[in-house]
Chain A
Amino acid sequence: MRIQSTSEIPYEVYVNPAIYDREMEELFQGPVWHFLGFESALTQEHNYFTTEIAGLPIVVVKDHGTIRAFVNRCIHRGSLLCIAQTGRISEFSCVYHGWTYDLTGQLTGVAFERGIQGQGGMPEDFNKSEQHLRSLTVQNYHGVIFASFDAQIPDFETYVGPDIAAGIRRVLPRRPVLLGRTSQLIHSNWKIYVENNRDSYHASILHSFFTTFKLNRLTQSGGIVINAAGGSHISFSKRKQEVDDATYDAEQLRANKDDFGLKDPRALRFIDEFGDQISLQILTLFPLTVFHQINNSLCVRQVIPRGVDQVEVVWWYYGFEDDSAELQEARLMQINLVGPAGYISMEDGAVGGFVQRNSSYAEGAVGLLKMGGYDHLSSPSRVTEAAIRGFWKQYCDHLGETIV
């Protein structure tokens, strides 16, 4: 299967298990950065939490102020090492046969290493000091922990480029603290979900609620920023700067339901906490991370592929320790807008499944990504599919045009 152009994507890419296997082994474990969680979860020395990267169990631990991440897998026979979601440990100790590791991942103990009374035990050539847990490269970027399987990967900021880095720092002015977490299982290939996040064209059409309340019309001033690698982007818009409402109404979109009004509009309130009038910023990081700011709802969406036709999205809502009562209330109220039950985002849970159901046996058909031309460049217009083309550009740079 060959991706000949970033504007014509064969549906096979969403259903072929051989492609999924290559992604698991070469893309996700290659030179890319993944979201692991918030530094604020590790308040004390030796705190740990467990998480996943694309289905691989990961444990993150703080040791002498250093945050380390390992594949949560004993090198003896592969058992999970840390079973709880969070905890505190002074060493890793495997429940299965009792092997132990220090918090740098170094093997320190093998039960019955010398056998009993000279019988059994490990062979002479087995040297504990050569045995380590598989460790990841870790970077704490403004209170958010990222990791990569690639020891040679460029640092996080170089990887995403200056514009995307600035967009992340914009929503991380202080150390983030978790306000709640939920998860959503979507019945589509992971790429359909991450394309959806780069699809600024659909947002105000599919999500009627957005448009009805003028939260994000394509005519609002804003734009798209795409990094040089192509796969990471920012889509943003500003509140109260209508360029041309008439264009929208003339289209008579289903989304315009002007007879609809909220009895209690508190959920729509926007406090300009970053002082730039930007009320919406969707920021994607290649391949599996999304940061959203929707009004005052701040969230990292961790995308976890669950087989070729399912993807889990974990929503990590955050705020800051010094949030005013007013800001705190705004973030709480806006849970009604975003997430698996959100007025403006619930449709994304379903639409991916609609594409997936049509992707098997598609007779070689391709999906079209020609809105806004053929490039994957930044633009002031959001009526474009440039960011999705950019995703496919970087995808092909990692896996080649001929995927299988």
Chain B
Amino acid sequence: MSVPVAIASLIQSSAAALDALDFHHWLSGFTEYGQYHITTADNQRQGLPLGLMHALNKDQLRDRIASISSVNVYEPHRYRHILSQTWIKGQGLELQYITPFAVYRITPSKPTILFVTGEYQDRVEYSHSGVRFTYRTVVLDNDMIDTLLAIPL
């Protein structure tokens, strides 16, 4: 089964939006009740529920964007996502779109670092206005975050 073009392009444009710090566009990729979680492979394997971010709806994602845009203090930086081919895991209600990624972090006047690697585990929903994430889990390969994780992945 091949990945529908609309879904592949949702995943691509979501990464591109973050890389461009276009959070408005990034938010538009989620349904109103879309969930977004960031955790680590270790926690996921052990069935531990806590990770790094935990949003149960789009309002909580809006709060994340508002907080990092106007309240939190950190050195300005941006990401560069390198995505690998999306593939399909499971079927029916269990179906997930899996996209492995590497994210580099670019901070002015510092060397660019390989920030995190991992995979997206996505579920989506079609509506008249297009396809959107209903459930996106970002699973990081490694436990360690360099300095901080402000901007979503």
Total number of B residues with any Cβ neighbor in A under 8 Å: 36
Chain A proximity mask over B126-153: 1 for CB below 8 Å, otherwise 0: 0000000000000000011111111000
Which A residues are CB-close (under 8 A) to B75?
350
Contact of A185 among B53, B60, B67, B147 (CB under 8 A): B147
Contact of B50 among A267, A314, A331 (CB under 8 A): A331
CA distance A347 to B148 in the complex (A): 8
Whole-angstrom distance from the CB of A294 to the nearest CB of chain B? 14
Q: Are B144 and A183 in contact (CB under 8 A)?
A: yes
Contact of A260 among B55, B57, B62, B70 (CB under 8 A): B70
Chain B proximity mask over A198-210: 1 for CB below 8 Å, otherwise 0: 0000000010110
| Smallest Cβ-Cβ distance to A350: which chain B residue | B74
| A interface: dominant SS | mixed
Q: Are B145 and A181 in contact (CB under 8 A)?
A: no
CA distance A388 to B148 in the complex (A): 24
Q: Are B54 and A333 in contact (CB under 8 A)?
A: yes
User: Does B91 sit within 8 A of A, measured CB to CB?
Assistant: no
Contact of B71 among A186, A212, A314 (CB under 8 A): A212
Which B residues are CB-close (under 8 A) to A317?
50
Whole-angstrom distance from the CB of B55 to the nearest CB of chain A? 7
Interface size class of A (residues with CB under 8 A): 35 or more
Chain A proximity mask over B36-74: 1 for CB below 8 Å, otherwise 0: 001110110000111111111101101110110011111
Which A residues are CB-close (under 8 A) to B70?
257, 260
| Smallest Cβ-Cβ distance to B64: which chain A residue | A336
CA distance A332 to B53 in the complex (A): 9
Which B residues are CB-close (under 8 A) to A85?
42
Q: Are A341 and B63 in contact (CB under 8 A)?
A: no
A346-B49 contact given A263-B63, A335-B54, CB 8 Å threshold: no
Q: Are B150 and A182 in contact (CB under 8 A)?
A: no
Residues of B within 8 A of A (CB): 38-40, 42-43, 48-57, 59-60, 62-64, 66-67, 70-75, 143-150
Residues of A within 8 A of B (CB): 85, 178-187, 206, 208-209, 212, 257, 260, 262-264, 266-267, 312, 314, 317, 328, 331-333, 335-336, 339-341, 343, 346-347, 349-350, 353
20 A–B pairs (Cβ distance < 8 Å), ordered by A = A179-B48, A179-B50, A180-B50, A182-B143, A185-B145, A185-B147, A186-B147, A187-B147, A208-B72, A257-B71, A260-B67, A264-B60, A266-B60, A331-B50, A335-B52, A335-B54, A339-B52, A347-B148, A349-B145, A350-B75
